[in-house]
Amino acid sequence: MTTTRHHIDLVETYAAHNYHPLPVVLASGEGAWVTDVEGRRYLDCLAGYSALNFGHGHPRLVARATEQLQRLTLTSRAFHNDQLGPFVEALAGLTGKQMVLPMNSGAEAVETAIKVSRKWGYQVKGVTPGAATIVTMSGNFHGRTTTIVGFSDDPDATTDHGPFTPGFTRVPYGDLPAVAAAIDAAAGNTVAVLLEPIQGEGGVVIPPDGFLRGLRELCTERNVLMVADEIQSGLGRTGRTFACDHEDVVPDIYVLGKALGGGILPVSAIAADREVLDVVRPGTHGSTFGGSPLAAAVGHEVVGLLATGEYQERARVLGKRLVAGLDALVGSGLVAVRARGLWAGVDVDPGLMTGRRVCEELMARGVLAKDTHGSTVRFAPPLVCTEDDVDLLVSTLRSVLEQALLSAG
């Protein structure tokens, strides 16, 4: 039995089967590259769903985490610690918001945004008690809690998990008139519109030009909070600090996670102005590990990396190179490419092969990626990747498609 087979068998035997990973067992990583237990190297083009924007083992992040590990890791928010204040000050500065509420996972941050939006609706906007409504988008992915999957339209997320939390209305993604109609239908009880500025799980789905600007104007006009889930799209991935920046839009609430923890530990947060976050009072919300010294130290270092603009610029420049390479494959196995910055979703001809099969063939050639929804594959290499890495990704995908076309005759 190989070492790979041994590790896979252990997981298949003792871990719940809530994932269907590729048959590779990773043991180490550096930058944009990982190595498996057999010593084979792979270019990581998933980057932990953008949690690894700064690559594996970034020296500054590892050094900061190591330093803090040796000092203090956890206090709970029952006490102050010397890392939280500097972190939230820095993150407030990065987002341009007045306050930050730190949590752990992305789903927790989304749940926090939902609770805060409802509380704001009752205490500030004055909506009817118990009637707060939040507008969501079709094709969304905001996490896996029972509340969040309740407004998903993915059968895998919803089947046998109900009954679901009421108070959500779903409209087509990118349809501004539909958002307006949903807000108006709630008769003044709409408190927020929750959306991903770019939908990641859907396959890097970008809304129509002007949609975010129009939504910002609509939310302001109707006195509704615009809540932007930038967990995957934010923190440099799209070539700007936030995906909303591409339309010069500032939401009322940023929802952040993944890359905020530098690929080292879960760190998430929401950021908003005082009028919104002042509704949170002691005892109304919390988390044992949220805002811990270790999380705050790593998160602060991440903000420092982003403050230079270097990673945003890398995503912008390398993203252009990636798109040019992928666009050249349309008509030669690909039917569509959607990309912003160093983040792309490609639709493979469904008659040629599934997305899963594409990822298996890429893996066999030393590139790791993740499929979604049939024949769609996503690429999100760490922002520390090189031009050669981008070219390798494109050439490897070209090889896979050419072989499939040849086999199809």
Q: Which residues contact 350 (CB under 8 A, 6 or more apart)?
A: 374, 375
141 has catalytic annotation = yes
| Closest to 105 measured CA to CA, from 150, 49, 163, 154 | 49
Residue 136 corresponds to which amino acid?
T
Partner residues linked to 42 by β-bridges: 34
φ, ψ (nearest 5 deg) of residue 168: -130, 140
**Selected catalytic residue, list 97, 119, 258, 370:** 258
The answer to whether 297 touches 85, Cβ cutoff 8 Å, is: no
Return the C-alpha torsion angle 155, 161, 167, 171, nearest 10: 0
SS3 for 13-66 is: HHCCCCCCCCCCCEEEEEECEEEECCCCEEEECCHHHHCCCCCECCHHHHHHHH
**Selected catalytic residue, list 54, 87, 141, 242:** 141
**Selected catalytic residue, list 36, 229, 371, 389:** 229
Q: What's the burial of 80, exposed, middle or buried (CB within 10 Å: 0-12/13-18/19+)?
A: exposed
| Closest to 340 measured CA to CA, from 215, 173, 207 | 207
| Closest to 91 measured CA to CA, from 296, 287, 280 | 296
Coil, strand, or helix at residue 379? strand
| Closest to 262 measured CA to CA, from 88, 86, 111, 48 | 48
Partner residues linked to 57 by β-bridges: none
Give the number of other Cβ atoms within 10 Å of residue 17's Cβ.
7
258 has catalytic annotation = yes
Q: Per the structure block, which two tokens stand in for 49? A: 């769903």
Taking CA atoms, 61 is separated from 174, 258, 319, 343, in Å, by: 37, 14, 24, 22
Positions marked catalytic: 141, 229, 258
